[in-house]
Amino acid sequence: MASLRNRTRRMLVMNLEHEVSCASGACGCKPMRVVVTDQSPVTGVRAQRVIEKQVCASLTLLPRELRRGLPDSVLGCREVKAALRAGRVEVVAELPPAPAPKKEATP
């Protein structure tokens, strides 16, 4: 698991490309219907058709937000790596498990 912090005062949106972010198992991509227009090079007639496209999941961090529990594969995504290089986000160490409560010393 990884934790990322947005170091800026702006909201950041990073696309998580399928090849990297879905490599570890569950695919976070969503199918989306897109209308495309084709023009025949022969007749010049335009026709519309609907295709189904896989749209990548994305990670949105609010200004200064610290997000815990992200899959490690997120760190390998192109836009996340670019944001890390630019210093817009930082990797924060996961919190260790809560320590056991201390016992009162008995004299």
Contacts to Zn ion by CB under 5 A: 18, 22, 27, 29
Complete DSSP assignment for 41-106: TTT--EEEEEEEEEE-EEEEE-TT-EEEEE-GGGGGSHHHHHHHHTTSEEEEPPPPPPPPPPPPPP
If the CB atoms of residues 10 and 53 are measured against Zn ion, the closer one turns out to be 53
Rounded to a whole number of angstroms, the minimum distance from the CB of residue 53 to Zn ion is 12
Would you say 18 or 81 has its CB closer to Zn ion?
A: 18
Q: Which is nearer to Zn ion, 61 or 77 (CB)?
A: 77
